[in-house]
Amino acid sequence: MTDPRHGGIAILDFGSQYTQLIARRVREQGVYAEVFPHDADEATVLRHAPRGIILSGGPNSIYEDGAPQIPEWWRRGVHSPAADAIKGVPTLGICYGMQALTHALGGVVAPSQEREYGQAELHRVAANPLLDGLDERLTVWMSHGDRIEQPPPGFVGLATSGSSPYAAMGDVARGLYGVQFHPEVVHTPRGADILRNFLFHICGCIAAWSPVAFIEDAVEAIRARVGGERVMLALSGGVDSAVAGALLQRAIGDQLVSVFVNTGLLRKGEPEAVVRVFREERGMTLRAVDSTELYLDALRGVTEPEAKRKLIGKLFIDVFSAEARALEAQGVRFLAQGTIYPDVIESARSSKSSRVIKSHHNVGGLPEDLHFALVEPLRDLFKDEVRKVGEALGLPESIVWRQPFPGPGLAVRCLGEITWERLSTLRDADAIFLEELEREGLLRSETAQCFAVLLPVKSVGVMGDNRTYEEVIALRAVQTDDFMTADWARLPYALLARVSSRIVNEVKGVNRVVYDVTSKPPGTIEWE
């Protein structure tokens, strides 16, 4: 079959916090998009023969020393003979990407007298393919301190704003465009239409990126890479590893062996659900390792958050490595992971313009004496795409729409010392919260992530005629599209009252419940 990645969009990342969002918005329209560092080499960027290139925004000013520039191969290609691979591939520069394009092609960028941050009004001044079908006045989201003073030769102004004489510009004949605003964010209401014009009217893309197309292509790729060898999968029960497991099982069947390590830090009923769904219902070869006592013994007396994380990570590697050695001795040659595209992007950021968020590897730190070849069947997908693939593979909704869960599990939601009693208290309170949200139909529609936190704080209470001195549960529920920012969910008071009443009456050791109304930023979604 035709690779659904062929003929998509290549995005050069200049360090914008919205770069991943650009890729998601392109993929939402059925077109594959892949992100590369701005200084990636030509062969890497062009390996899937993209029909268009998008230059992301970024935090720099183009005239600063060391500011990231458009790669030489792009500049050479714009002026090269028709035989050159990049010749004729349309390009859209967004914010800093527009300024980099201007600078590279001989235009003038300068600091603006008035910076534009937030919503602004765009006035279209010329008919053009990029803004075709849109109103003459549009609301857009700006975030810049520099502006285009003089566009490059061959470019004309397409739109203006209050502080930008060239809020959009283009060289229509060559398919080169720039916009000073961010069409990828929800604060630009017609941004999806602008991107659609670029994808289909200017680049001539075809909407071929879908869960079904991905599954067909991935199954072929897995079989070609693995052949008749056996594959080991680290199965956590989370969305990513679950979908990876279902995809691998479809591709290679009994050649797959999954290892599930129960750390004792999962939510109520989750270890049992993992075994039931994958071993009993799906017939997967599953090795379930109960390491609860090992973890609890090691965590006794540990209260510092980072110390908890490091200890849990080391224990997981120790337990998983023991299973891996046993399987390697039995002839298993491949290790599969549920790595997804945001992990790949953030781990690969190597240029100075990038703001590295995290260094991620699902099963990083395995001993050097283990020599598995790596299989990462989901590395091209965003989280929402992973869920769609999971649905197409027939996984139950309880797995596909499982709430996001931190790697160290409940250890980061059980503040203070980890004991079995405190974990049980947290598990029961969390289950009540999720149950009531599900009953009201709010678990997916109004909340992107929700959970309970057990605080190492005791408060005075009264139950019957007795004075109590027990711990506090904090409830957290947020709304977000991308998890880079989040706002606290405005849950109904009646629901919160019911949850609070149930927790205090049904969960031992708790006499007070509070609701977290902090947004991200300044807070984070998790507490620890």
The 10 Å CB-count burial string (b at 16+, else e) for 480-492 is bebeeebebbebe
Nearest to 13 by CA among 347, 423, 434, 410: 347
Q: For residues 502 and 428, what is the distance between their CA atoms, to the nearest angstrom?
A: 10
Q: For residues 46 and 81, what is the distance between their CA atoms, to the nearest angstrom?
A: 17
**Contact assessment for residue 18 and residue 184, using Cβ atoms and an 8 Å cutoff:** yes
**Contact assessment for residue 183 and residue 357, using Cβ atoms and an 8 Å cutoff:** no
DSSP string, 148-182: EEEPPTT-EEEEE-SS-TTSEEEEGGGTEEEESB-
Nearest to 232 by CA among 318, 313, 316, 324: 324
Helix/strand/coil for 270: helix
Which of the 8 DSSP states describes residue 484? S
Which residues are CB-neighbours of 159 under 8 A, at least 6 positions away? 122, 123, 124, 125, 126, 131, 138, 167, 168, 179
**Contact assessment for residue 70 and residue 118, using Cβ atoms and an 8 Å cutoff:** no
Which residues are CB-neighbours of 488 under 8 A, at least 6 positions away? 476, 477, 478, 479, 516, 517, 518, 519
Which residues are CB-neighbours of 197 under 8 A, at least 6 positions away? 129, 130, 131, 132, 133
**Contact assessment for residue 336 and residue 327, using Cβ atoms and an 8 Å cutoff:** no
State the Cα angle at 122 between 190 and 93, rounded to 5°: 70
State the Cα angle at 478 between 441 and 451, rounded to 5°: 75
Amino acid symbol at 466: N
- Residues catalogued as catalytic: 95, 182, 184
Which of the 8 DSSP states describes residue 414? B
**Contact assessment for residue 30 and residue 214, using Cβ atoms and an 8 Å cutoff:** no
**Contact assessment for residue 197 and residue 185, using Cβ atoms and an 8 Å cutoff:** no
Nearest to 413 by CA among 361, 387, 449: 449
DSSP string, 30-65: T--EEEEETT--HHHHTTT--SEEEE---SS-TTST
Q: For residues 157 and 201, what is the distance between their CA atoms, to the nearest angstrom?
A: 19
